[in-house]
C-alpha cells in the first residue's frame, strides 16, 4: 500500500514530490481493492465521476488549497452530487444534484470524494451489522463488529484508504466505530456542522462526525466545515467556549457507575488512560454519572424514537418491507409515542440537563470509555437490541445534553482489539478536547489505524507490599519467572494504609488529588502468560490498576478499593511498606 495515512502525507506528495493528482487518487483506489471483502463501500468513484475533479485541480497550485487532492469518504446518508444516496436501503435510493453543505466545503478546499460508505441502515445502530450491503468487518479481528452506524467511514480511515472521512453521530455513530478501529472520531457540537443534505435520523440531534488518523487532522477538517449555513435551520454560530489551561479537571463516573459488561481488559485500559491523563496535568474528580445514564435511556426508550419515524415517514409508511427486520422494528415503533409522551420527555430532559450542567460546571471535561466492551458479530445476531443498548451506555446522552465529544485511541487488549476513550465537554469546546485528545493519543504510544500489535512478552508490575523482594509473598512472582527491574517510587499522588484487619496485614494504596506522597515500589517484569494466574490470586480489596511513577511513566500496579481504608491505619508518612514493618 501507499502508506499515505494523514492529510499531511498527501499534501507532501503534491507540494514537495510533485506527484500528479491523477496518479495519487488512482493509487488510492487501487489500494482500496485490498479491502473489497470488508464491506466498506456502497459506491466507489469511477473515472467519469473523478474527471471534473482532476481537471479543476490540475490547473491549480497545490499550495493554494488546504486539502488539495486529498481523498475522503462519505457515509451513504450524506449527499454527494452524482452518487446515489441509499442510507443503507436500495429501495430508498435517490440521486442528489447537489452536495451536502459540509461536502461542498471540503470540495471547495480541494478534497476529492472517492466513494459512499456502508452503514447501519438509516443510521439506526451502533454495531455496523445492520446493512443489506454486508456487515462491517473489524479489521483487527473479523469475528468482531466494526461498530456503527458509520461503519464504512471508520473502516476506510482505519485501513488507510483515506486520511479522513465523514460520518454522522446521533447516538454514538461517530465514536463507537472510531474506538473499534483505533482512530479518532470527533462529534462536534450540535449545529456546528450543517446537516443540510443529510438523511435525518433524529434531525434535532443529528451531527456530522469526522473520522481521522489523529486529532490534528480532525481539527483541520472541522475548521473547514464549521461554517454557519443560513439554509439549515439547525445550524448555529459558536458561543460559550470555555478554554482549558495546561491543568484541567476531568470527571469520571463513580466506581459503581462505570460499566464494562465483564470486559476486564477494557476496564484495565480505562484506568491506564485515567493515569495517563493525570500524568499530563489532569486532576481527576469523581462525578455522579446518574443524570447522564438516565438521559441516555431517553434516546431509544423515550419519545425521541418518534423523530426517527418522522425523518422517513413516507417511506416507512409505504415501503417498510424494504427495511431489515431490526431496523423496521426500531423505526416503526416511533409511530407510537403521543404528544403527551413528547412533552413529558422534554420536561424530564430539561431536569436532567439542569443536573448535568451543574456537574459539567465543576469540571473541564468528562472522560469515559467510548464503549464499555466490544462484541462478536454472532453475539450481536443473537441479541441485536440489548447489546446495541450496552454500546450506547457512554454515548447516547451526548446530543440530548448538547455536549461536544472526541473519541481517541487508548490501547489494545491482550487479544489485539482496540480500545478508546471519549473526552466530552460543554458545547463548542472541540479545540480544547482535540488538544487534550492529541496528548493522550501520543501517550498511548501506539500509532493509529490498522496496525499489528505485538503483545509484550512481559508485563511491568509495581508492587508495594508483601510481594516485594525478601517479603513473604515474593515467591508468587519468582515462581512465575518474574525478575525485579529496579526500585522506584510513585508520583506524589498517593496515600498509603496498613489494612491490619487482615492476616497478615496488607498494604492499601489509594490515589488522591491532594495530600499524597511518594511511596516506595519495586518494578518487576513478569512473563505475560503468567500474569493472569498471578493476578487471579490477588484477593480483594486490592484491584489491578495503573500507577503513575515519580518519573511520569505509567505501569500496572495494585490499588486498594476505597471502602477498605475506612478506619485503617494511615502510613503515608512512612513512605513505604518496609518502613512500616520495621517500626
Full set of structural domains in the chain with CATH: 7-443 (3.90.1300.10), 458-581 (3.10.490.10)
Please write the tens of the pLDDT for every residue from 315-360: 999 999 999 999 999 999 999 888 899 999 999 999 999 999 999 9
Note the pLDDT of residue 27: 94
Note the pLDDT of residue 313: 92
Higher pLDDT, 244 or 265: 265
Crossing angle (nearest 10°) for helices 430-443 and 264-279: 110
| Whether the predicted pLDDT of 453 surpasses 80 | no
> Which of 144-153, 274-283, 551-560 is predicted most confidently?
144-153
| Whether the predicted pLDDT of 506 surpasses 90 | no
336 is a catalytic site residue: no
Note the pLDDT of residue 455: 65
From the candidates 75, 116, 187, 556, which is the catalytic residue?
A: 75
State percent of the chain over pLDDT 90: 82
Q: Name the pLDDT band for 552 (thresholds 50, 70, 90).
A: confident
Q: Name the pLDDT band for 3 (thresholds 50, 70, 90).
A: low
Q: Are 114 and 29 in contact (CB under 8 A)?
A: yes
Q: Name the pLDDT band for 150 (thresholds 50, 70, 90).
A: very high
Please write the tens of the pLDDT for every residue from 569-582: 999 999 999 999 99
313 is a catalytic site residue: no
Region of poorest pLDDT, from 100-104, 139-143, 381-385, 442-446: 442-446
Kindly report the pTM of this predicted structure.
0.86
173 is a catalytic site residue: yes
What is the rounded CA–CA span in Å between residue 306 and residue 330?
10
Note the pLDDT of residue 501: 84
From the candidates 124, 150, 151, 173, which is the catalytic residue?
A: 173
Note the pLDDT of residue 244: 75
Please write the tens of the pLDDT for every residue from 530-544: 887 887 777 788 887
The mean pLDDT of 481-488, rounded to a whole number, is: 94
CA-nearest of 393, 418, 419, 406 to 366 is 406
Q: Are 218 and 212 in contact (CB under 8 A)?
A: yes
- Total Cβ atoms within 10 A of residue 546: 22
The mean pLDDT of 428-452, rounded to a whole number, is: 92
Please write the tens of the pLDDT for every residue from 510-531: 988 778 999 999 999 999 888 8
Q: Alpha helix (H) ranges present in 392-521?
A: 430-443, 475-478
How high is the mean pLDDT of the chain?
A: 94
347-384 burial code (b ≥16 CB/10 A, e <16) = eebeebbebbeebbeebbbbbbbbbbbbbebebbeeeb
Give every CB contact of residue 49 below 8 A, 6+ residues apart in sequence.
82, 83
The mean pLDDT of 159-176, rounded to a whole number, is: 97
Note the pLDDT of residue 1: 44
Query: Under DSSP, is residue 150 helix (H, G, I), strand (E, B) or coil?
Result: coil
From the candidates 124, 146, 149, 356, which is the catalytic residue?
A: 149
Q: Name the pLDDT band for 467 (thresholds 50, 70, 90).
A: very high
| Whether the predicted pLDDT of 235 surpasses 70 | yes
What is the rounded CA–CA span in Å between residue 364 and residue 380?
35
| Whether the predicted pLDDT of 159 surpasses 90 | yes
Amino acid at each position: 500500500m501507499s502508506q499515505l495515512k494523514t492529510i499531511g502525507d498527501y499534501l507532501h506528495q503534491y507540494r514537495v514530490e510533485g506527484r500528479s493528482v491523477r496518479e495519487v487518487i488512482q493509487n488510492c483506489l487501487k489500494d482500496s481493492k485490498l479491502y473489497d471483502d470488508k464491506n466498506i463501500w456502497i459506491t466507489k468513484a469511477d473515472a467519469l465521476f473523478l474527471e471534473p475533479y482532476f481537471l479543476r485541480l490540475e490547473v491549480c497550485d497545490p499550495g493554494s488549497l488546504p486539502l488539495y487532492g486529498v481523498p475522503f469518504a462519505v457515509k451513504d446518508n450524506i449527499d454527494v452530487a452524482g452518487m446515489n444516496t441509499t442510507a443503507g436501503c436500495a429501495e430508498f435510493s435517490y440521486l442528489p444534484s447537489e452536495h451536502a453543505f459540509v461536502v461542498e466545503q471540503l470540495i471547495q478546499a480541494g478534497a476529492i470524494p472517492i466513494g459512499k460508505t456502508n452503514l447501519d441502515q438509516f443510521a439506526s445502530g451502533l454495531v455496523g451489522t445492520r446493512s443489506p450491503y454486508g456487515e462491517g468487518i473489524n479489521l483487527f479481528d473479523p469475528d468482531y463488529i466494526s461498530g456503527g452506524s458509520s461503519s464504512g467511514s471508520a473502516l476506510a480511515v482505519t485501513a488507510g484508504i483515506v486520511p479522513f472521512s465523514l460520518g454522522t453521530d446521533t447516538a454514538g455513530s461517530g465514536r463507537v466505530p472510531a474506538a473499534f478501529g483505533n482512530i479518532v472520531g470527533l462529534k462536534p457540537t450540535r449545529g456546528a456542522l450543517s446537516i443540510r443534505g443529510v438523511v435525518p435520523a433524529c434531525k434535532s440531534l443529528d451531527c456530522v462526525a469526522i473520522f481521522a488518523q489523529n486529532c490534528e487532522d480532525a481539527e483541520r477538517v472541522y475548521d473547514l466545515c464549521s461554517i454557519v449555513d443560513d439554509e439549515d435551520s439547525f445550524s448555529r454560530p459558536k458561543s460559550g467556549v470555555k478554554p482549558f489551561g495546561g491543568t484541567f479537571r476531568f470527571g469520571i463516573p463513580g466506581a459503581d457507575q462505570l460499566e464494562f459488561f465483564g470486559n476486564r481488559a477494557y476496564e484495565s485500559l480505562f484506568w491506564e488512560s485515567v493515569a495517563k491523563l493525570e500524568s499530563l496535568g489532569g486532576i481527576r474528580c469523581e462525578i455522579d454519572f446518574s443524570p447522564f445514564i438516565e438521559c441516555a435511556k431517553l434516546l431509544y426508550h423515550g419519545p425521541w424514537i418518534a423523530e426517527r419515524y418522522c425523518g422517513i415517514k413516507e417511506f416507512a409508511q409505504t415501503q417498510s418491507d424494504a427495511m431489515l427486520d431490526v431496523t423496521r422494528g426500531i423505526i416503526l415503533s416511533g409511530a407510537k409515542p403521543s404528544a403527551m409522551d413528547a412533552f413529558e420527555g422534554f420536561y424530564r430532559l430539561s431536569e436532567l440537563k439542569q443536573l448535568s450542567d451543574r456537574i459539567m460546571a465543576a469540571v473541564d471535561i468528562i472522560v469515559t470509555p467510548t464503549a464499555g466492551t466490544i462484541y462478536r458479530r454472532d453475539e450481536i445476531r443473537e441479541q441485536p437490541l440489548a447489546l446495541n443498548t450496552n454500546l450506547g451506555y457512554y454515548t447516547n446522552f451526548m446530543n440530548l445534553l448538547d455536549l461536544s465529544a472526541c473519541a481517541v485511541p487508548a490501547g489494545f487488549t491482550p487479544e489485539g482489539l482496540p480500545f478508546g476513550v471519549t473526552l466530552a465537554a460543554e458545547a463548542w469546546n472541540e479545540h480544547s478536547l482535540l488538544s487534550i485528545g492529541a496528548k493522550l493519543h501520543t501517550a498511548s504510544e501506539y500509532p493509529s489505524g490498522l496496525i499489528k500489535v505485538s503483545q509484550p512478552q512481559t508485563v511491568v508490575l509495581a508492587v508495594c507490599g508483601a510481594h516485594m523482594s525478601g517479603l513473604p509473598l515474593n515467591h508468587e512472582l519468582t515462581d512465575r519467572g518474574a525478575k525485579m527491574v529496579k526500585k522506584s517510587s510513585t508520583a506524589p499522588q498517593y496515600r498509603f494504609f496498613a489494612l491490619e484487619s487482615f492476616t497478615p496485614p496488607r498494604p492499601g494504596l489509594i490515589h488522591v488529588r491532594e495530600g499524597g506522597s511518594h511511596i516506595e515500589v519495586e518494578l518487576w517484569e513478569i512473563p505475560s502468560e503468567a500474569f493472569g494466574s498471578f493476578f487471579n490470586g490477588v484477593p480483594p480489596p486490592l484491584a489491578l490498576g495503573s500507577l503513575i511513577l515519580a518519573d511520569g511513566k505509567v505501569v500496572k500496579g495494585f490499588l486498594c478499593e476505597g471502602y477498605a481504608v475506612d478506619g485503617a491505619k494511615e502510613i503515608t508518612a512512612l513512605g513505604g511498606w518496609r518502613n512500616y514493618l520495621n517500626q
